[in-house]
Amino acid sequence: MPASSLAVTDVVAGYNSTPVLNGVSITARPATITAVLGANGAGKTTLLRTISGFVRTRGGQVRLDDVSLTRLAPDHIARAGVAHVPEGQGVITELTVEENLKLGLLLRRRADRAAALEDAYRKFSILADRRRRHAATLSGGERQMLVIARALLSAPRVLLLDEPSLGLAPKVVAQVMDLVRQLRDESGLTVLLVEQNARSALSIADQGVVLNLGKVVATAAAGELAADVALRRHYLGF
């Protein structure tokens, strides 16, 4: 399957009367990782929620290749191939670990499911050991791992990761990042990665975008952003 691009154009969106995003444009080229950076409250999570349809756009467009996702329902967008790993949540605690993972599999072809599940258990052996347990009994990091694994199991074309490192051990973070990179290179996955740790995010990303107060203040290749001292000082704090 050819890799997909995600284009966000002049998006205006928010929760109440005042919009949180004021005309945000980001283009994620096929098979690239785009780091989305910015201070707390800049609108990063809102951006991802808008792309996946949980926040309604009031202006602008979201396109996956040449299909418009603007104002589609979240489930529709998910079926179109956008997987969203929300910020520190998303596990269904009443289901077992395996059932949570199977939810991801439902988006795949029936024939691939069993092999994909085994593959996921190989990559996330912690989950394999706990497959029959209720997700409520998982630790915070294990839950995060479960949500990431589930998103990957749905064989997405675009992956939206909202602070995936939250609560994960550095070693596991590295492992997840390696996996993301590998999926980009081998399966052409396009990734939007929201991270607080700008330095490490930029180190694996192809492109970086800095949000501030609901606007894009910088878009550049990851290396350039990391090298821009003034921008780093001002917005990224390293």
Ligand X SMILES: Nc1ncnc2c1ncn2[C@@H]1O[C@H](COP(=O)(O)OP(=O)(O)OP(=O)(O)O)[C@@H](O)[C@H]1O
CA distance 60 to 56: 11
Indicate which of another protein, Mg ion, ligand X, none lies near residue 237 (CB less than 5 to 8 Å, by partner kind): none
C-beta separation of 8 from 46 below 8 A: no
- Between 38 and 164, name the residue whose CB sits nearer to ligand X: 38
Q: Is residue 208 at the binding interface for ligand X, with CB under 6 A as the rule?
A: no
Give strand pairing partners of 9. 61
Indicate which of ligand X, Mg ion, another protein, none lies near residue 108 (CB less than 5 to 8 Å, by partner kind): none
* CB 153, min distance to another protein, A: 10
CA distance 38 to 99: 35
Kindly give the pairing relationship between strand 190-194 and strand 158-162: parallel
Q: Is residue 44 at the binding interface for ligand X, with CB under 6 A as the rule?
A: yes
Q: Please give the residue whose beta carbon sits closest to ligand X in the complex.
A: 45
- Between 87 and 206, name the residue whose CB sits nearer to Mg ion: 87
The total of other beta-carbon atoms located within 10 Å of residue 131's CB is: 14
- Between 104 and 214, name the residue whose CB sits nearer to another protein: 104
Residues 87-106 that bind ligand X (CB under 6 A): 87
**Nearest CA to 12 among 20, 4, 238?**
20
Q: Please give the residue whose beta carbon sits closest to Mg ion in the complex.
A: 45
Indicate which of ligand X, another protein, Mg ion, none lies near residue 40 (CB less than 5 to 8 Å, by partner kind): ligand X
Question: Using CB under 6 A, which of the segments 42-50, 101-109, 120-128, 139-147 binds ligand X?
Answer: 42-50
List residues near Mg ion by CB under 5 A: 45, 87
Indicate which of ligand X, Mg ion, another protein, none lies near residue 20 (CB less than 5 to 8 Å, by partner kind): ligand X
Q: Is residue 86 at the binding interface for ligand X, with CB under 6 A as the rule?
A: no
- Between 85 and 101, name the residue whose CB sits nearer to Mg ion: 85
In degrees and rounded to multiples of 5, residue 209 shows phi and psi of -130, 135
Residues lying near ligand X in the complex (CB under 6 A): 15-16, 20, 38, 40-46, 87
